[in-house]
Structure 1
Amino acid sequence: MPTDRTLTEINLPLAIATICAGVAFLVVNDAIAKLLTERYNPVQIIAIRNILAVPMIAAVVLAISGTAGLRTRYLRVHALRGVLMLVGAFFYFSALTVLPLAEATALVFSAPIFITALSVPILGERVGPWRWAAVLVGFAGVLVIVQPGGAAFQPASLMVLGTASCYALFMMMARFIGRDEGLWTMMLFAVGFPGLYALPFATAVWVPVQTADYALFAAIAVLGSLGITLIGQAFRLAPAAVVAPFDYTALIWASGVGWLIWGDIPGGWTVTGASIIIAGGLIILWREGMQPRP
């Protein structure tokens, strides 16, 4: 990460455009997955998507690192991250069968809140009062959207929070992977293990794939891989404090796509809660930027 360079030495427009494109690809990926959940079980969608993505990523690994890139010294860590990725994706795709895309996207923004809270017991990090305050702010935003006990409460919202917590743990487990391992190798195992785990469950609920849907499955395999890659690349092009706030453009994309396809318009509670969650995330990001780096 280019923390030792000044902003004038960094191609900021390229970094911002890269993360915005990556976020847009992931939102479209989620929208297509939501369409597919109307005809297929979420675990079948995960299995097909990941199985299609593995050879594409493996081809990139071979082109960049050769056969050495297909090996890892952190197989157990990848195996555990695969479980987290599978469970998180299953929760999210299941929730999309009920929730509007914008609302689900807004709740996923709570992931940085979970990362901060879980970093204390898992990584032994010290979290100061500012970041704990940000956790409480973000949690308040979640309550605004979910409205537990209210007439508008939907249990599927809790599944998205489960996705956010799985994603937080997935990201934190990356700390146990050495820097000697390449990004594409990490991606290969991050896609391969969930696909492997999902396949036995998918066979139990398998529905023959309609011919027209093959293109949709191929699209989510490509868009999901591209989205994650571009977002990761953006954080390599510029400091996190510069590019991370643009991750929240996902809510704009999700609102637009949700309106175009399903006619969904985010309600006032969703917009208010998302704004509060984003505020909490930005506070955490700001405090991270204040910490001294070796």
Structure 2
Amino acid sequence: MQNQSARGILYLCFGVFIFSLQDAIIKQVSGGYALTEVVFLRSCVGLPILLVLVQREAGWRALFAAGLLPLALRALIMFGAYTAYYMAFPALPLADAVALYFTVPLFITALAGPVLGEHIGWKVWAAVVLGFAGVLVMLQPGTGLFNPAALLSLISAALYGCAMLMARKMGTRLPTSVMAFYQNGFFLLGAALAAAVLHQLGIEHATHPSVAFLVRPWTVPTVTDGALIGVCGVVAAVGTMFLTAAYRVARSSTVTPFEYTGILWAPLWGYLFFSEIPKFTTFVGAAVILVAGLIAMRMAQK
């Protein structure tokens, strides 16, 4: 059991680290390309990688032996989570977008009861409320500093929490690579469909940077940008495998606190690549969210 927990923690920490690199890349290209194009190209690159991983782990027949409905539902939720998450990047400093996303453990804790049947006591709920007090510190609602794009990170966190609990509920019935393959495939098809619908509706421009990132028409990327987007495909395939595996091999309450290791990378990439210096309220709010999340996870284990 301890070995399983240790493996889950290592899987999650590594997955969070490599996904943090993807965050920086997508923010870099968010000003000139459509989100649907970035996700589509990323998924195309990830597809053959995941096929190889499926063959090595379970054989290609496992793709057809899996229950399609739960996989499709989880993939749909993940598509919505990542779409909302990436849309926040053009409008927010990287550290802010990622820090708000760290409410994921709070959502997982709150949803563990109805989804997994885990008992959630009043102390855990108190920690969840404390965490969202930290969110309010960061958002500063009612002031001129509030950016509606911040809500996208919170929506993403809620959806991602649901998807990870679904992965845990599926347990060992499905190989990790199969779950990751269907998620990648849904991202590819979903991005293409969304782009086609937006094109047919003639929606190609928006004033808000988050919406503009979603509706912008596709263009041929430069060699450099194309290579960066291709790297995202590798990161997405490998990162999805590690994150999904983490929640499959260990209890959600054990591995979830290590989602917070991402807080080490976002400010660093934001400063190095975009010359962003986090606000004081970002540090305070993130600290409150961090403490609340850790308390909630600790209480949930008792």
Same fold? TM cut 0.5: yes
For the Cα contact (< 8 Å) 2:92–2:150, is it kept in 1? yes
Partner of residue 273 from structure 1, selected from 285, 289, 292: 285
Q: How does 1:170-209 map to 2 (within 5 A)?
A: 170-177=163-170, 179-203=172-196, 204=199, 205-209=217-221
Partner of residue 41 from structure 2, selected from 31, 44, 48: 48
Q: Between the two proteins, what is the percent identity of the paired residues?
A: 35
Distance 1:70 1:122 in 2: 25
Gaps of 5+ in 1: none
Deviation at 1:52, TM superposition (A): 1.8
Distance 1:283 1:173 in 2: 23
Deviation at 1:183, TM superposition (A): 1.1
In structure 2, relative to structure 1, the CA distance for the partners of 1:252 and 1:235 (3 Å cut) is: same
Distance 2:12 2:73 in 1: 27
Q: How does 1:25-104 map to 2 (within 5 A)?
A: 25-104=18-97
Distance 2:63 2:118 in 1: 32
- Which deviates further from its counterpart, 104-113 or 227-236? 227-236
In structure 2, relative to structure 1, the CA distance for the partners of 1:231 and 1:167 (3 Å cut) is: closer
For the Cα contact (< 8 Å) 2:106–2:131, is it kept in 1? yes
For the Cα contact (< 8 Å) 1:53–1:221, is it kept in 2? yes
Pair 1:228-2:240 in alignment: yes
Q: Secondary structure at the match of 1:96?
A: coil
For the Cα contact (< 8 Å) 1:20–1:246, is it kept in 2? yes
For the Cα contact (< 8 Å) 2:176–2:245, is it kept in 1? no
**Cα distance per residue 1:234-261 (max 9 Å; x no partner):** 6678877775444322112111110011
Distance 2:143 2:229 in 1: 37
Q: Secondary structure at the match of 2:147?
A: coil
Deviation at 1:171, TM superposition (A): 1.6
For the Cα contact (< 8 Å) 1:104–1:157, is it kept in 2? yes
- Which deviates further from its counterpart, 43-52 or 239-248? 239-248
Residue in 2 aligned with 1:166? 159
Partner of residue 283 from structure 1, selected from 295, 298, 302: 295
Deviation beyond 4 Å, 4+ runs, structure 1: 14-19, 120-125, 231-244
Deviation at 1:97, TM superposition (A): 0.5
TM-score, normalization: structure 2? Answer: 0.84
Distance 2:37 2:29 in 1: 10
For the Cα contact (< 8 Å) 1:38–1:97, is it kept in 2? yes
In structure 2, relative to structure 1, the CA distance for the partners of 1:147 and 1:84 (3 Å cut) is: same
Q: Secondary structure at the match of 2:120?
A: coil
Distance 1:101 1:62 in 2: 36
For the Cα contact (< 8 Å) 1:47–1:202, is it kept in 2? no
Residue in 2 aligned with 1:126? 119
Gaps of 5+ in 2: 200-216
Deviation at 1:89, TM superposition (A): 1.4
Q: CA RMSD in A?
A: 2.6
For the Cα contact (< 8 Å) 1:62–1:70, is it kept in 2? no
- Which deviates further from its counterpart, 152-161 or 225-234? 225-234
Pair 1:216-2:215 in alignment: no
Distance 1:237 1:83 in 2: 23
